[in-house]
Amino acid sequence: MGTKIFIAAALIIYLLFFLSVFGPMHSEKKFWGVIYKIRSGMDFAIYWFFNLCGIATILFVVYCVIKGLGLIY
C-alpha cells in the first residue's frame, strides 16, 4: 500500500515539474499560474531539505571526529 502511494506521489510531482519546465513562461491563464506557484513551493521545500541534509552531515562528521578522539563514549 505504501509503495503505491509513493509511486502516485512521485508521478504527480514529476508531472507538475514537467509541466512547469515545458509550459509557457508568461501565460495569462490561471492554470499555468497555479503550476508555477506549486513549482516555487517545490523549489523552496527542496532547498531547505538540502540545507538540512548538509547540516546533518556536518553534525555527523563532528560527532564522529569527537568520538574518534575519545572525548565522548
Q: How many CB atoms lie within 10 A of CB 19?
A: 15
Lowest mean pLDDT among 10-14, 23-27, 60-64: 23-27
Query: Does residue 27 carry a pLDDT above 80?
Result: yes
Assigned C-alpha cell, 4: 503505491
Note the pTM of the prediction, 2 decimals.
Answer: 0.69
CA distances from residue 34 to 38, 51, 72 in whole angstroms, order as listed: 6, 26, 51
Assigned C-alpha cell, 34: 497555479
- What per-residue confidence (pLDDT) applies to 58? 97
Angle (CA) 34-41-6 rounded to 5° is 95
User: Is the distance from CB of 36 to CB of 22 less than 8 angstroms?
Assistant: no
